[in-house]
C-alpha cells in the first residue's frame, strides 16, 4: 500500500503515521516492523531494499520516507537530472510494491498534481492513498480542539474554545499539550475560559495581541494596563518584551509582504500561520507605516539590550517604550488587500 501524506500540518501527518503504526500490533512488533528513511541522502536502491524486506512474524511492514517527493520536484520546481532519473525509476517501481509493505511518503509541503509520483498514486487507487494536511481554518480549528478534548476524556466549553482560538497559537502539537493540561486541571468538569486564562501560555499571547492592538490605536493606557496585569499574574517583564517583539516582527513581515502584494498563501507560509491568524496580523500592520515599524522594532531591540545589561529597570523600560510607541503618529488606516 502506498501513502502520500503532504501539507504543512505536521502534527496531523504524524497522527496519521501513528495510526498506521498502531495497526502493526504491540509496540515491540511495531518498532521492529517500522523503518524511517531520510530522503536527503537516500538512494533508490536503499528505498527498494527497505520496501522489499519481509515483515517480522508476518503482518505488514511500515516504511516512512520523509521529504523525498519535495526533493524530487526541486526547490524551484526544476529537479536535477539525477533526481529526474530517480523519480522516473521510482514511478516504474511503485506498481510492483509488495502488498505487505506500507510505504509512506511524508511531505511537509503541498505536492502539486504534475508530480509523477502523485500521478502514479492516483492511478494505483485503491492501493494508494493521497491525503492533504493543509492549515486548519478557524472553524476547523474549533472543531479539532473540541474533538481532541473528547478523545482525552474531557470537554471544552464554548468560551474555552474561543479563548484558545483567540490566543493566536497555530501549532497543533502545542495546542494538543495545552488541551491535555487543561483537562487534567479541570478533573472531570468542563474546561472554561478562566481555566485557559489561568493555565495556558497561549492566553498570555492573546493578551499580547490585544496589547499590540492598543498600541496601534494609540491607546497607551490600555496597553500599559494590560502589560501590568500580565506582570501581576506572574509573567516576567523580559519575557513579555520578547513576546511583544515577536509580534512586531510578524507585523513587519506582513507589512512588507502586503506592500509587495504577496498572495494570501505566501503570507501564510511566511508567517507560519493559518489564514485567519495571518489576516489578523496583516490587519495590525495597517496601523503602522513601514518606517514606523522599523523604528519600533529597533527600539524593542534597544530596550531588550538595556534590560539585559542592567542599564534599565524592566517594568519602567517597557512602560516608557509602550508610551513612546502609542504616542507616535501612526499611518492612516489602509484598505484591506484584495482577495486573491
pLDDT in tens, 227-240: 888 888 777 888 88
Residues found in the chain: 340
**Confidence category of residue 77, pLDDT binned at 50, 70, 90:** low
Identify the domain containing residue 124 by its residue range: 2-132
Q: Check which CATH number belongs to the domain holding 323 and give it.
A: 1.20.272.10
Same domain, 59 and 29: yes
CA-based nearest residue to 281, from 312, 300, 315, 257:
257
Degrees, nearest 5: CA angle 159-164-165: 95
Q: In the listed set 132, 150, 168, which residue is the last one of a domain according to the structure?
A: 132
β-bridge pairing 128-132 and 61-66: unpaired
How many domains is the chain built from?
A: 3
pLDDT of 110 higher than 50: yes
Same domain, 123 and 35: yes
pLDDT of 183 higher than 50: yes
Q: What is the pLDDT of residues 269-300, one digit of tens each?
A: 888 878 888 888 888 888 889 999 999 989 99
Instruction: Kindly state whether residue 63 falls inside one of the protein's structural domains.
Output: yes
Name the least confident of 127-136, 245-254, 272-281, 309-318: 272-281
Give the CA count within 13 Å in the CB-facing half-sphere of 110. Answer: 8
Q: What is the pLDDT of residues 80-93, one digit of tens each?
A: 888 889 999 999 99
Q: In the listed set 112, 132, 152, which residue is the last one of a domain according to the structure?
A: 132
Name the least confident of 78-87, 124-133, 202-211, 296-305: 202-211
Residues with Cβ within 8 Å of residue 254, at least 6 apart in sequence: 267, 271, 278, 281, 282, 284, 285
| Beta-sheet strand order (sheet of 128-132) | 34-38, 61-66, 101-107, 2-6, 128-132
**Confidence category of residue 328, pLDDT binned at 50, 70, 90:** low
d(C-alpha 51, C-alpha 16), whole Å: 19
Same domain, 150 and 56: no
Grid cell, residue 197, equals 486564562
Name the least confident of 42-46, 47-51, 166-170: 166-170
pLDDT of 338 higher than 70: no
Same domain, 153 and 121: no
pLDDT of 159 higher than 50: yes
pLDDT of residue 82: 87
Q: Check which CATH number belongs to the domain holding 149 and give it.
A: 1.10.8
Same domain, 174 and 236: no
**Confidence category of residue 329, pLDDT binned at 50, 70, 90:** very low
d(C-alpha 261, C-alpha 251), whole Å: 15
Amino acid at each position: 500500500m502506498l501513502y502520500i501524506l503532504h501539507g504543512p500540518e505536521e502534527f496531523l501527518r504524524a497522527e496519521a503515521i501513528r495510526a498506521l503504526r498502531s495497526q502493526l500490533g504491540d509496540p515491540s512488533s511495531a518498532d521492529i516492523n517500522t523503518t524511517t528513511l531520510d530522503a536527503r541522502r537516500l538512494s533508490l536502491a536503499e528505498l527498494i531494499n527497505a520496501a522489499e524486506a519481509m515483515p517480522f512474524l508476518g503482518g505488514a511492514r511500515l516504511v516512512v520516507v520523509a521529504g523525498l517527493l519535495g526533493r524530487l520536484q526541486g526547490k524551484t520546481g526544476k529537479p536535477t537530472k539525477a533526481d529526474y532519473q530517480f523519480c522516473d525509476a521510482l514511478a516504474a517501481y511503485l506498481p510492483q510494491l509488495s502488498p505487505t509493505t506500507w510505504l509512506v511518503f511524508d511531505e511537509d509541503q503541498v505536492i502539486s498534481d504534475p508530480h509523477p509520483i502523485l500521478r502514479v498514486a492516483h492511478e494505483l487507487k485503491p492501493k494508494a492513498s493521497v491525503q492533504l494536511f493543509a492549515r486548519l481554518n478557524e472553524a476547523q480549528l474549533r472543531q479539532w480542539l473540541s474533538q481532541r478534548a473528547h478523545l482525552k476524556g474531557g470537554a471544552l466549553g464554548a468560551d474555552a474554545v474561543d479563548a484558545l482560538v483567540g490566543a493566536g497559537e497555530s501549532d497543533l502539537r502545542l495546542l494538543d499539550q495545552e488541551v491535555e493540561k487543561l483537562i487534567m486541571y479541570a478533573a472531570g468538569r468542563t474546561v472554561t475560559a478562566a481555566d485557559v486564562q489561568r493555565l495556558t501560555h497561549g492566553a498570555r499571547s492573546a493578551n499580547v495581541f490585544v496589547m499590540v492592538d492598543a498600541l496601534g490605536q494609540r491607546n497607551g493606557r490600555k496597553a500599559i494596563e494590560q502589560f501590568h496585569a500580565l506582570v501581576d499574574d506572574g509573567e516576567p517583564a523580559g519575557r513579555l518584551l520578547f513576546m511583544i517583539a515577536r509580534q512586531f516582527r510578524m507585523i513587519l513581515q506582513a507589512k512588507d509582504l502586503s506592500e509587495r502584494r504577496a498572495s494570501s498563501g505566501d503570507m501564510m507560509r511566511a508567517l507560519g500561520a493559518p489564514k485567519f491568524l495571518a489576516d489578523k496580523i496583516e490587519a495590525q500592520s495597517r496601523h503602522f507605516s513601514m518606517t514606523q515599524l522599523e523604528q519600533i522594532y529597533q527600539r524593542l531591540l534597544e530596550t531588550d539590550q538595556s534590560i539585559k545589561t542592567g542599564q534599565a529597570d524592566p517594568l519602567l523600560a517597557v512602560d516608557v517604550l509602550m508610551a513612546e510607541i502609542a504616542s507616535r503618529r501612526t499611518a492612516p488606516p489602509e484598505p484591506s488587500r484584495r482577495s486573491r
